[in-house]
Chains A and B, each alone.
Chain A
Amino acid sequence: QVQLVESGGGVVQPGTSLRLSCATSGFSFTTYGFHWVRQAPGKGLEWVAVIWFDGSKTFYTDSVKGRFTISRDDSQRKLYLQMNSLRVEDTAVYYCVTDGGLYNNKWFKFAFDVWGQGTMVAVSS
């Protein structure tokens, strides 16, 4: 059973740092790229970052460039999001998500297939 479990969220002050983790199980970790997607309270979904299946490429939404870093540890089957210089507007539930998947014996990419349950990050003074 494919499973993603986020952790590391909490309440922090503006300007501080936090590292989110996503533990995975039930699939071939190194086959997949991963995204972080966030959702502010009462708001819509916002894509945050992606890391390629082999870790060779990472991309970010403009509002987090230079502050957030996505990374992966293939030996631990974990995905991370290092968040520095946190702002009030970063307050959201953060979801770890697989990029693409396999259906009907055909791989697809660039869609968000399996989602974790999310971890809440609240930035407040």
Chain B
Amino acid sequence: SDLTQPASVSGSPGQSITISCTGTSSDVGGYNFVSWYQQHPGKAPKLLIYDVSQRPSGVSDRFTGSKSGNTASLTISGLQAADESDYYCNSYTSYNTWVFGGGTRLTVL
């Protein structure tokens, strides 16, 4: 089954928001292979976070990942208009497969 994300979140410029991603002990809770992606309309997704909390080179430190039990989280601080996008979490699973969350639409007010 898909990981569970809120369908939408919103925040004002400069604020912080957090997107949750809930799975099970067979995926999020069982491995530190949780990743997050940003996707703007009509574009390919972009890797933001891997291994729960690691940022690839070039990704702003305003993006922070964490995990507690079966729930992972992505926090975006200092919201900017350019952050308005769709966000997806992903986890490796015990079945040698990968599962995405349903996606969260971030609106910057």
User: A95-125 toward B: CB 8 Å interface, digit per residue (1/0)?
Assistant: 1000011011000111111011110000000
Tell me the minimal C-beta distance from B45 to chain A in angstroms: 6
Q: Which interface class (under 10, 10 to 19, 20 to 34, 35 or more) fits A?
A: 20 to 34
User: A64-90 toward B: CB 8 Å interface, digit per residue (1/0)?
Assistant: 000000000000000000000000000
* From A35, A44, A46, A59, contact of B96 by CB (8 A): A59
Tell me the minimal C-beta distance from B101 to chain A in angstroms: 7
Decide if B98 touches A50 in the complex (CB within 8 Å): yes
Decide if A110 touches B98 in the complex (CB within 8 Å): yes
A45 CB-CB contact with B under 8 Å: yes
CA A89 to CA B11, docked complex, whole Å: 35
Decide if B103 touches A101 in the complex (CB within 8 Å): no
A30 CB-CB contact with B under 8 Å: no
A47-B90, A118-B44 in contact; A111/B100 too (CB < 8 A)?
no
Decide if B33 touches A111 in the complex (CB within 8 Å): yes
Decide if A44 touches B92 in the complex (CB within 8 Å): no
Tell me the minimal C-beta distance from A86 to chain B in angstroms: 21
Decide if B44 touches A103 in the complex (CB within 8 Å): no
Decide if A44 touches B47 in the complex (CB within 8 Å): no
CA A50 to CA B92, docked complex, whole Å: 11
Residues of B within 8 A of A45 (CB): 37, 39, 45, 88, 90, 100, 103
B57 CB-CB contact with A under 8 Å: yes
Decide if A112 touches B37 in the complex (CB within 8 Å): yes
CA A67 to CA B38, docked complex, whole Å: 30
Decide if B98 touches A35 in the complex (CB within 8 Å): yes
Decide if A47 touches B44 in the complex (CB within 8 Å): no
A111-B90, A113-B56 in contact; A46/B100 too (CB < 8 A)?
yes
Decide if A44 touches B33 in the complex (CB within 8 Å): no
Tell me the minimal C-beta distance from A24 to chain B in angstroms: 15
Q: List 9 A-B contacts (CB under 8 A).
A: A45-B45, A45-B90, A45-B103, A50-B98, A59-B96, A111-B35, A112-B37, A113-B56, A115-B45
Q: What is B's interface to A at a CB cutoff of 8 Å?
A: 2, 31, 33, 35, 37, 39, 44-47, 50-51, 54, 56-57, 88, 90, 92, 96-103
